[in-house]
Structure 1
């Protein structure tokens, strides 16, 4: 290769050397300033243009990065260096892809492919140009074909000893395997890619991308332990990258999600607030929608409903999904019909996507129970339990056990509800998730009251209330306080569903009539009656009817 020397005076050479040194030591902001100045004073050679393009990308100057990569591409071509010329074409496409300019990205990748075909020499760049097509196959629902492409790229990477391409390829293989329902093999491939990243073997252009992709894969498989571990590593890496612009916002979002899970809500709000500010400058970053949705979730749990709604709206404007968060907000606001309509639509649209389905079913069950659609909640719980078994993720097992307990309680089977709630509580404890564990304890308190175990109910209720107070979880705390204030006038010995049955029995309805009216099975009606006979100390339907008249539960005719 012919190296073209940089012209210029001694001062310009000193600036260039300073920029090269900053680049070598990972001081991206310093390197950008010095290399850009050197380029203004005297046009840089191809290698230095690649360095300028890299640091420009890392500090958020994509326009400069694209210009420098393009100039380097042409300079390498003039020098007859096909490999490096094609490598620049690849990185041009990469930066354009991340900017959402896919047509231009495809154009550069196709140019690179043509140059390799004309050259006729086997080069490592052949492997790089397999990556975009394989990524498209993953996104188009062709994971088997994508896996084959990534494996071919990995073989090329290993032949040429290229760590960047090897990490890229392993990441792709892992993602494809997860899509093929081989999560264990897929996550093992992702872990191997991450070993190269954490060892510092991968270039900074790719390091942040691989971190983000691996953490997103952990979220897709509900592997919260792995997500937490890699998020911590990602945070450490970001902290060492001077002036880093891409990736940092997404890192802050992931940190916020982990903080939320562990009950560090104030810190989580601060973190995602920083993410929103970081991603808003310059405007147009689609990851901002992810940050706004996370902000909405935290504000909803805090009871700041107007601010939460605004955050969900901004997330939607960025193209991010707004459910199930917005549907749960509507439920908390008492807009049950809106919540039901939204969650039913989202559930119907998610039937072909197992990950999305698992993500929304917990909210779907909660809303269906609030709407007294116990059968719908029961069916969704069975599906969620199957998904939890398929993913074998502690998080999904916890959500499914919580749902099973809630459905059992709605069915009047408090004993079975307690058993499910206990399993859910243990799983949430394992994940160190205090809010979710407290929600389960609140439900346990309701179940224990059904069983007239008032001492245990009080213990569970007080424990839940303390957690809600610590987190400033206003809606949940209000629910706990409301349960504490329950009086005899609202008849704490009977559930809402049992009170519905009492009214219908008093009106002369048969078990079949009651089942039809409440959209439950006759078997469930019989169970409710059996439970009520024990609670009320009666042995017949006439005793239930008498109780209804004594407590003004008979509807006006």
Structure 2
């Protein structure tokens, strides 16, 4: 027979040495031979949690809760109940999570204030921000701030800073909000918090950085926490939503080699326990597939996201735009915008500008671009400012104002380069190529186009962009060849404008240039010239490479 005393001692030593497997094995062996006290059962729960064996961890934690109650340790039982509430909520089961929090609240009701009350206030504030409108969370934030002053506990201080940061961000002060969240992360990385709560603060920072498009902060804290987790040999601290955002971050950098497989695996793992987070994963999977040109796969992933409770916009709308259905795309975005709050609307506005221009709705495009400018100013988000510059560039380009387009697009380009968002960078470069072409600078247009194509080819991405730039001695510019190719098919100016997502006025201007360059005076003569070039296989023609139903270069 095994000596339970020896196994217990070995299990405790293993846990202290961050040997989670050894701790779980030895403590489990001791538990089979004798009754463990509540502290050792709690250690079992944490060892299982570090190994990612969450169901076992939850079962052990419930056993520890009962053991603390039996020992008349109400505060310890309440802390265990709060831990269980947190873990159930992060798994996506709000009903069970809230039940455990209410149980903790009942146990603490007759206890004098202490650190456990701070953990309760943290959950109350966090839940209020997630599920309640207005500023109902203020009383919980104030309560936690008071407890942080009264109890000199690094963990309580970190919890208080985290909810203060979130509240400040939601009021529109991004600089101060992120400063508070950054400060909250310091005790997390110093190991001053219980690991489950450290994981929640970390994932809160990552999620809100993503929500406010602050990719530099998102990447910086991700790297820091990856280093922190490496010393423990575990990634258990990352909740499902964090895993999805980490994959998204790698995808944005162009690290697509294993991204699709990783996202699909995460979605499968999360679907049963946390459908909301699985839905976020399916959305990212749809976006990756759309950008790779796998429209059927993207549609399937977006459908899974929707069935999981996630509105798959703007990706689903942009998929329709890729397929030439600007009207359908506009309908989806209009419905989604009506259902979202001011912050959540921001993520849809750049696509709304794109789709409105494709639909010939110049007023709608300007309205969305103006709202995006206001959001960038209100929230002080560098990511929102970049999206706004991108949208302004598209708007100016559609108006034929190449100088304003280039000024805005270059601001977006600089930010996307800094953030290493390769796909977004390529989209902007393709638009810059059009602006240079419009300005008559063929060399600059070719350079921007070639740089964009190099990025997209390395990533395996597809962006519908019409024809490639013409050889230097070709008579027509790339856009002129696109317009003429469609005219030769019998399309009128309105249809050409709709299919290339430019204004009818711009179509007329391109046709006037075409007539002058090839020495004709009518559409019929121009179409005949085009067909003759096709038959002759002239290297300056488009060789049928135009994209009749796709979006303007870099638009999706």
Normalised by the size of structure 2, how large is the TM-score?
Answer: 0.82
Question: What is the CA deviation profile of residues 2-30 of structure 1, one whole-angstrom value per residue up to 9, with x for unaligned ones?
Answer: xxxxxxx7611121112212222223333
Q: Could you tell me how far apart the structure 2 residues matched to 1:340 and 1:108 are?
A: 44
- Decide whether aligned partners of structure 1 residues 368 and 158 sit closer, same or farther in structure 2, where only a CA change above 3 A counts: same
Q: Residue 58 of structure 1 contacts residue 243 of structure 1 at CA under 8 Å; is this kept in 2?
A: yes
Residue 64 of structure 1 and its aligned partner are, at CA, apart by 3.8
- Report the equivalent of 2:122: 131
Q: Residue 483 of structure 2 contacts residue 511 of structure 2 at CA under 8 Å; is this kept in 1?
A: no
Say which SS state the counterpart of residue 309 (structure 2) adopts. coil
- Decide whether aligned partners of structure 1 residues 251 and 33 sit closer, same or farther in structure 2, where only a CA change above 3 A counts: farther
- Choose 438-447 or 216-225, whichever is displaced more: 438-447
Q: Residue 255 of structure 1 contacts residue 268 of structure 1 at CA under 8 Å; is this kept in 2?
A: no
- Report the equivalent of 2:297: 307
Residue 248 of structure 1 and its aligned partner are, at CA, apart by 5.7
Say which SS state the counterpart of residue 202 (structure 1) adopts. coil
1:215 equivalent in alignment to 2:201 = no
- Report the equivalent of 2:404: 416
Q: Residue 299 of structure 1 contacts residue 308 of structure 1 at CA under 8 Å; is this kept in 2?
A: yes
Q: Could you tell me how far apart the structure 2 residues matched to 1:118 and 1:467 are?
A: 63
- Report the equivalent of 2:35: 43
Residue 107 of structure 1 and its aligned partner are, at CA, apart by 3.7
Q: Could you tell me how far apart the structure 2 residues matched to 1:95 and 1:435 are?
A: 35
1:27 equivalent in alignment to 2:27 = no
Q: Could you tell me how far apart the structure 1 residues matched to 2:283 and 2:150 are?
A: 44
- Choose 122-131 or 186-195, whichever is displaced more: 122-131
Q: Residue 286 of structure 2 contacts residue 298 of structure 2 at CA under 8 Å; is this kept in 1?
A: yes
Residue 417 of structure 1 and its aligned partner are, at CA, apart by 2.0
- Report the equivalent of 1:5: none
1:332 equivalent in alignment to 2:322 = yes
- Report the equivalent of 1:293: 283
- Report the equivalent of 1:363: 351
Residue 267 of structure 1 and its aligned partner are, at CA, apart by 4.6
1:263 equivalent in alignment to 2:249 = no
Q: Could you tell me how far apart the structure 2 residues matched to 1:135 and 1:249 are?
A: 17
Q: Residue 83 of structure 2 contacts residue 196 of structure 2 at CA under 8 Å; is this kept in 1?
A: no
Q: Could you tell me how far apart the structure 2 residues matched to 1:526 and 1:316 are?
A: 39
Matching residue within 178, 183, 201 for 2:169: 178
Q: Residue 256 of structure 1 contacts residue 267 of structure 1 at CA under 8 Å; is this kept in 2?
A: no
Residue 198 of structure 1 and its aligned partner are, at CA, apart by 0.9
- Decide whether aligned partners of structure 1 residues 278 and 176 sit closer, same or farther in structure 2, where only a CA change above 3 A counts: same
Q: 1 or 2 for the larger relative contact order (CA 8 Å, sep ≥6)?
A: 2
Q: Could you tell me how far apart the structure 1 residues matched to 2:134 and 2:414 are?
A: 36
- Choose 94-103 or 304-313, whichever is displaced more: 94-103
Q: Could you tell me how far apart the structure 2 residues matched to 1:215 and 1:118 are?
A: 36
Say which SS state the counterpart of residue 247 (structure 1) adopts. coil
Q: Could you tell me how far apart the structure 2 residues matched to 1:107 and 1:245 are?
A: 24
- Report the equivalent of 1:521: none
Question: What is the CA deviation profile of residues 187-214 of structure 1, one whole-angstrom value per residue up to 9, with x for unaligned ones?
Answer: 1111111000111111112122211111
- Report the equivalent of 2:223: 232
Count of aligned positions: 517
- Report the equivalent of 1:319: 309
1:196 equivalent in alignment to 2:196 = no
- Decide whether aligned partners of structure 1 residues 205 and 424 sit closer, same or farther in structure 2, where only a CA change above 3 A counts: closer
Q: Could you tell me how far apart the structure 2 residues matched to 1:381 and 1:303 are?
A: 27
- Decide whether aligned partners of structure 1 residues 97 and 117 sit closer, same or farther in structure 2, where only a CA change above 3 A counts: same
Q: Could you tell me how far apart the structure 2 residues matched to 1:142 and 1:344 are?
A: 22
Matching residue within 5, 12, 23 for 1:13: 5
1:57-136 mapped onto 2 (5 Å cutoff): 57-119=49-111, 121-136=112-127
Matching residue within 369, 390, 395 for 1:381: 369
Matching residue within 248, 269, 272 for 2:263: 272
Q: Could you tell me how far apart the structure 2 residues matched to 1:173 and 1:279 are?
A: 30
Residue 323 of structure 1 and its aligned partner are, at CA, apart by 1.2
Say which SS state the counterpart of residue 266 (structure 1) adopts. coil
Residue 129 of structure 1 and its aligned partner are, at CA, apart by 2.3
Residue 496 of structure 1 and its aligned partner are, at CA, apart by 5.7
Q: Could you tell me how far apart the structure 2 residues matched to 1:54 and 1:531 are?
A: 68
Say which SS state the counterpart of residue 372 (structure 1) adopts. coil
- Report the equivalent of 1:511: none
- Decide whether aligned partners of structure 1 residues 251 and 238 sit closer, same or farther in structure 2, where only a CA change above 3 A counts: farther
Question: What is the CA deviation profile of residues 240-281 of structure 1, one whole-angstrom value per residue up to 9, with x for unaligned ones?
Answer: 44465562654443332222222222253354345345546x
Q: Residue 302 of structure 2 contacts residue 316 of structure 2 at CA under 8 Å; is this kept in 1?
A: yes
Answer with 1 or 2: which has the greater Rg.
1
- Report the equivalent of 1:468: 456
- Report the equivalent of 2:428: 440
- Decide whether aligned partners of structure 1 residues 532 and 129 sit closer, same or farther in structure 2, where only a CA change above 3 A counts: same
Q: Could you tell me how far apart the structure 2 residues matched to 1:143 and 1:197 are?
A: 29
Normalised by the size of structure 1, how large is the TM-score?
Answer: 0.82
Q: Residue 469 of structure 2 contacts residue 478 of structure 2 at CA under 8 Å; is this kept in 1?
A: no
- Decide whether aligned partners of structure 1 residues 467 and 16 sit closer, same or farther in structure 2, where only a CA change above 3 A counts: same
Structure 2: segments with no counterpart, 5+ residues: 529-556
- Report the equivalent of 1:541: none
Q: Residue 53 of structure 1 contacts residue 65 of structure 1 at CA under 8 Å; is this kept in 2?
A: yes
- Decide whether aligned partners of structure 1 residues 56 and 158 sit closer, same or farther in structure 2, where only a CA change above 3 A counts: farther
Q: Could you tell me how far apart the structure 1 residues matched to 2:504 and 2:63 are?
A: 77
Say which SS state the counterpart of residue 479 (structure 1) adopts. coil
